[in-house]
Homo-oligomer: A and B are copies of this chain.
Amino acid sequence: MSRPTIEFWYEFASTYSYPAAMRIEALASEAGVEVAWRPLLLGPLFNEQQGLTDSPFNAFPVKGQYMWRDMERVCEAEGVAFERPSQFPRNGLLAARLAIAGLEEGWTPRFSRLVYQANFVHDQDIASAEVLAPLVDQAGGHADAAVAAASSDAVKAQLKDHVTQAKARGVFGAPSFITADGELFWGNDRLEHALEWALRHHKTREIA
């Protein structure tokens, strides 16, 4: 019997993607679900779907004010450190390309968690190669090779393809979780529901 899988769509600039990234592997492993990490960029989606050229949390400050307070509560409840960064959103393009470069070697999950901590705990500029390169090494990759791969046509094309796929499947924010039967769940607080759905419907399919 194959294991159920869940796709984890995330953007490095996205605040609520951070707690999701920190806890998804532990929860999924406990549930017996595999996680496919799917870095993407939200900018093109926000622009196309909502006409925005900035984070909705900056475009609509009342929602932004709530989000920062809510993030403090959520991170405290989930036991992950959190400091509001001095710059928001930070550009996640290079980090997303590096995360894609690491998929084959398997260091993407660890690297992604380190990038989120750099942004949302240590207030570091995750747009910068100087910040990111050591995190690749720390995650078990090779910084020089990864930085080179990140600017290759193949990796650039794969990130574009992630954005295209996300659009086609109804994604409009992050984190988003998609199960094998195409069910979409949006938001860190839907992670448990998505895992439960993945398990339940996987069983149904295996029996049928």
In the assembled complex, A161 has its CB within 8 A of some CB on chain B: no
Contact A66 to B186, CB < 8 A, known contacts A49-B60, A172-B60: yes
Complex contact A172–B49 (CB within 8 A): no
CB distance from A54 to the nearest CB of B (A): 13
**Residues of B contacting A62 with CB < 8 Å?**
49, 170, 172
Are the C-beta atoms of B63 and A184 separated by less than 8 Å? no
**A66 near B172: Cβ-Cβ < 8 Å:** yes
Instruction: Name which residue of chain B comes closest to A187, CB basis.
Output: B189
Q: Which residues of B contact A77 (CB under 8 A)?
A: 193
The reply to whether the CB of A65 lies closer than 8 angstroms to some CB of chain B is yes
Interface membership of A73, Cβ < 8 A = yes
The answer on a CB contact under 8 Å between B184 and A69 is yes
A189, closest chain B residue (CB): B189
A7 to B92, CA, bound (A): 39
In angstroms, how far is the closest chain B Cβ from the Cβ of A105?
Answer: 34
B-contact bits for A62-86, CB 8 A (1 contact / 0 none): 1101100110010001000000000
Kindly identify, within residues 10 to 57 of chain A, every residue whose CB is under 8 Å from any CB belonging to chain B: 49-50
In Å, the complex CA distance between A50 and B50 comes to 11
Residue of chain B at shortest CB distance from A64: B172
Contact of B170 with A65 in the complex, beta carbons under 8 Å: yes
What 0/1 pattern do residues 188 to 205 of A give for CB contact below 8 A with B? 010001000000000000
Chain B residues, Cβ within 8 Å of A193: 73, 77
B66 touches A184 (CB 8 A): yes
Residues of A within 8 A of B (CB): 49-50, 60, 62-63, 65-66, 69-70, 73, 77, 170, 172, 184-186, 189, 193
19 contacts between A and B (CB under 8 A): A49-B60, A49-B62, A49-B63, A50-B60, A60-B172, A62-B170, A62-B172, A63-B172, A65-B170, A66-B170, A66-B172, A66-B184, A66-B186, A69-B184, A70-B185, A70-B186, A73-B193, A77-B193, A189-B189
